Structure 1
Amino acid sequence: MKRFILLFAFISALLSSCSSDYTILKSVGSVILKPDSSVKLIDGTITFTVSSVTNNESEDITQEAVIYIDGEPITGNTFSSATVGTFEAKAIYAGLESDPVVLTFHDGTEINFEKRVLIEDYTGTWCGYCPRVAHAIELLKEETDNAVAVAIHRPTSNEASLNYDPYNYDASELEALLSTVGYPKGYLNRMTLWQSPEPNNLSQAVGLTQGLNPKLGIAITSVVEETTINLDVNVKFGKDFTGSGIKLVVYVLENGLIYDQVNYTSYYGGDHIVHGFEHNHVLRECLTPLLGEAVTGDMTIANTFTKSFNVPVPANVENAANLEFVAFVTDADGNALNVRSNHPGEDQVFEEL
């Protein structure tokens, strides 16, 4: 009996020691480090959040992760610099590292703008694997407010076809520039393929909202009156873009469109047909050429280019109250430099940092 008591005490002490000396970490698929801004004035404070993505679910792990600046751990989740310069930040949790983030502190002599990422989702109501990208966009919007989505429905308006889509938009001119055939496919900033499976590669998209500043900002003013759209798209330059070959693209989108979605994925309940699926950010019309319209005028630092539109609401729009406008500027190679979305009645200012 005495031996049994001693053995029980030893096991109890061992278990107590384990519970106090060790922390069991949650299973993690990937780690994402997000600063509230990657560009700040000197003496400004950058606040970080860290999240983990596991089994397509995101969880805030800021308090458990360790954040490093130029390889040195910091205390807490904020960082400031009293001098002009760039710094590399990363987070580590459970042995996994986030993608690095480049931080810039400036003295106010530069013009910098909020940086957003464009996602063009080539999709279809008939496409069973397309809900994968739609779900990834939903997850991405939980990670960052700086993602702008456009759903480009393909491939045919022929009602007799098995691939009929009532929202089909002929983007063949644009798709001809891309290297990926078939659907689904998501492209970031127009020319960069979002690696599949997209829900597991959120950090690729988040990373494009950070780092090197685009030096170009967009502000949109919109008014929809009965059957007419009045739109002003303003582009401000933070450096000299003269001779750069930049172009403007302006989309008209519609949200809240209800139509059954074929589904071969486990998302949205895993049903083969998702009845009453809500399709958002659906491309209805492009107000410029699909590959962009040349930006002209004085494109030196601090100057602004304005393009105004007075056009009828597209005939295919079901509800003008659900309109959305997206404007972005591409470089000479077609890559989107910056993008912004706008809803009817919104009068935006430039997002200068």
Structure 2
Amino acid sequence: MKRILFSFFSVLALILSSCSSDYLILDSVEEHILTADFSSREIGYPITFTVRNSDGEDVTSLSTIYIDGNAIEGNTFTSETVETFEVTAKYSGLLSKSISIYFHDGTEINFKKRLLIEDYTGTWCGYCPRVAHAIELVKDQTENVVAVAIHRASLSPASANYDPYTYDSTELENLLGAAGYPKGYLNRFTKWQALENNNIAQAVNLTQGENPKLGLALSSTVDNGNINIDVNVKFGKDFNELKLVVYVLENGLIHEQHNYTTFYGGDDVLEDFEHNHVLRECITPLLGEAITGNLTIANTFTKSFNVPVPANVENAANLEFVAFVTDAEGNALNVRSNHPGEAQEFEEL
């Protein structure tokens, strides 16, 4: 798949115009979002559905669930045959977007499906809180999301676009095909449609449906200024041309945030704003390093990293690690986050 290349200079040229104060603010769209606790499960075991409104409130008891167009009693469903079903939910007279569920015979290897959201943002960018707020709305709907805040612009305090957390993601942004900020991308190369807070279902629906057929499990420690991470990737089918990306993030960073939106109280400037999931370092190449060895079903790839805590980290206790696997086109297939001292197991279904 070919992508149009944009120069870094064209990106910078649109920074200010993307954040000008005459930007139109639209009200959130009322919608309800359907999710399943399992997108894939062994026959004979139940899948439970949840319906939430645009505020994240559970309205399942007020909704009707449809399997292949047929209403069911309650909000659970199982199958005794290997089959894929389309599911919708009606609430307040309106149908949700559909999701698919799949029942297998127990011989398959499937994994929990998580969504990567990369939020290109800046402390100087008045409309960037819009995407941060949208991520919070997604997290109200599902826990299966991993967010990364990639701060952009300048590390020079003399610059009008100064951001102390700026990370040079030029190599990646040149592939995206969208200049200016804010912007959110889902699983690396799917543009989150603006206004993102009106398009929560687009993000949530990517946690549903077809199984990624690979899972990640991380173990990490931080000792004496060093980070040790073991990344394990298990395959539920045969793969080729996969790459691994590993991020070091920091949470709890306090710095002012410009805000031209009505979110977070609508003030500009937001003093002492807490910035989370901030990208501090990528310990693989930004576009990933090749996963080598036997990439066939039931095999596991393991890569260990031992690196110093990045010099720009303010508090090592607030570190977070994110690892994800991309396909030949660079799209993220699955993702997992981890905190220091956490030893994870694979999330097999």
- What's the TM-score, normalizing by structure 1? 0.90
Which residue does the alignment assign to 1:156? 154
Which residue does the alignment assign to 1:47? 48
Which residue does the alignment assign to 1:321? 317
**Conserved in 2, the CA contact under 8 Å of 1:258 and 1:276?**
yes
SS in 1 for 2:52: strand
Deviation per CA, 1:291-350: give whole Å up to 9, x if none.
000000001100011110011000000000000000000011110000000000000010
Equivalent AA in structure 2 for residue 329 of structure 1:
V
Q: Quote the Cα distance in structure 1 between the aligned partners of 2:153 and 2:301.
A: 35
Alpha carbons of 1:258 and 1:281: their partners in 2 closer, same or farther (altered >3 Å)? same
Matched, 1:172 2:170: yes
Matched, 1:132 2:143: no
Q: Quote the Cα distance in structure 2 between the aligned partners of 1:41 and 1:194.
A: 32
Residue 196 of structure 2: which of 187, 198, 217 is its match? 198
Q: Kindly state the Cα deviation for residue 138 of structure 1 after the two structures are TM-superposed.
A: 0.9
Q: Kindly state the Cα deviation for residue 95 of structure 1 after the two structures are TM-superposed.
A: 2.7
Alpha carbons of 1:130 and 1:296: their partners in 2 closer, same or farther (altered >3 Å)? same
- For these two proteins, the number of residue pairs brought into alignment is 322
Which residue does the alignment assign to 1:239? 237
Q: How does 1:97-112 map to 2 (within 5 A)?
A: 97-112=95-110
Gaps of 5+ in 1: 1-26
**Conserved in 2, the CA contact under 8 Å of 1:28 and 1:94?**
no
Deviation per CA, 1:243-290: give whole Å up to 9, x if none.
x21100000000000000000000000001000000000000000000
Equivalent AA in structure 2 for residue 294 of structure 1:
A
Which residue does the alignment assign to 1:23? none
Q: How does 1:73-92 map to 2 (within 5 A)?
A: 73-92=71-90
Equivalent AA in structure 1 for residue 44 of structure 2:
D
SS in 1 for 2:60: coil
**Conserved in 1, the CA contact under 8 Å of 2:29 and 2:198?**
no
SS in 2 for 1:350: coil
Which residue does the alignment assign to 2:298? 302
Q: Quote the Cα distance in structure 1 between the aligned partners of 2:94 and 2:190.
A: 25
Q: Quote the Cα distance in structure 1 between the aligned partners of 2:210 and 2:75.
A: 21
Deviation per CA, 1:162-216: give whole Å up to 9, x if none.
0010000000000000011100000000000111111111111111111010000
Equivalent AA in structure 2 for residue 50 of structure 1:
V
Runs of 4 or more off by more than 3 Å in structure 1? none
- What's the TM-score, normalizing by structure 2? 0.91
**Conserved in 1, the CA contact under 8 Å of 2:121 and 2:183?**
yes
Q: Quote the Cα distance in structure 2 between the aligned partners of 1:216 and 1:126.
A: 38
Which residue does the alignment assign to 1:219? 217
Q: Quote the Cα distance in structure 1 between the aligned partners of 2:334 and 2:29.
A: 31
Q: Quote the Cα distance in structure 1 between the aligned partners of 2:203 and 2:130.
A: 15
Q: Quote the Cα distance in structure 1 between the aligned partners of 2:174 and 2:149.
A: 17
Equivalent AA in structure 2 for residue 46 of structure 1:
I
**Conserved in 2, the CA contact under 8 Å of 1:28 and 1:52?**
no
Q: Kindly state the Cα deviation for residue 108 of structure 1 after the two structures are TM-superposed.
A: 1.0
SS in 1 for 2:203: helix
Q: Quote the Cα distance in structure 2 between the aligned partners of 1:280 and 1:313.
A: 17
Q: Kindly state the Cα deviation for residue 58 of structure 1 after the two structures are TM-superposed.
A: 2.5
Q: How does 1:59-78 map to 2 (within 5 A)?
A: 59-78=57-76
Q: Kindly state the Cα deviation for residue 28 of structure 1 after the two structures are TM-superposed.
A: 7.5
Q: Quote the Cα distance in structure 1 between the aligned partners of 2:231 and 2:29.
A: 42
| More relative contact order, 1 or 2 (CA 8 Å, 6+ apart) | 2
Q: Quote the Cα distance in structure 1 between the aligned partners of 2:47 and 2:203.
A: 20
Q: Quote the Cα distance in structure 1 between the aligned partners of 2:100 and 2:154.
A: 43
Which residue does the alignment assign to 1:352? 348
For the pair shown, the structure with the greater C-alpha radius of gyration is 1
SS in 2 for 1:63: helix
Q: Kindly state the Cα deviation for residue 226 of structure 1 after the two structures are TM-superposed.
A: 2.2
Deviation per CA, 1:23-44: give whole Å up to 9, x if none.
xxxx981110011111111111
SS in 1 for 2:125: coil
Q: Kindly state the Cα deviation for residue 97 of structure 1 after the two structures are TM-superposed.
A: 1.6
Alpha carbons of 1:174 and 1:28: their partners in 2 closer, same or farther (altered >3 Å)? closer
Gaps of 5+ in 2: 1-27
Q: Quote the Cα distance in structure 1 between the aligned partners of 2:58 and 2:345.
A: 31
**Conserved in 2, the CA contact under 8 Å of 1:124 and 1:165?**
yes
Q: What percentage of aligned pairs have identical amino acids?
A: 70
Q: Quote the Cα distance in structure 1 between the aligned partners of 2:94 and 2:255.
A: 40
Q: Quote the Cα distance in structure 2 between the aligned partners of 1:259 and 1:205.
A: 28
SS in 2 for 1:250: strand
Which residue does the alignment assign to 2:327? 331
Structure 1 vs Structure 2 CA RMSD: 1.0
Q: Quote the Cα distance in structure 1 between the aligned partners of 2:85 and 2:31.
A: 22
Q: Kindly state the Cα deviation for residue 239 of structure 1 after the two structures are TM-superposed.
A: 0.4
Which range moved further: 249-258 or 191-200?
191-200
Which residue does the alignment assign to 1:281? 277
Q: Quote the Cα distance in structure 2 between the aligned partners of 1:145 and 1:68.
A: 24
Q: Quote the Cα distance in structure 2 between the aligned partners of 1:51 and 1:58.
A: 5
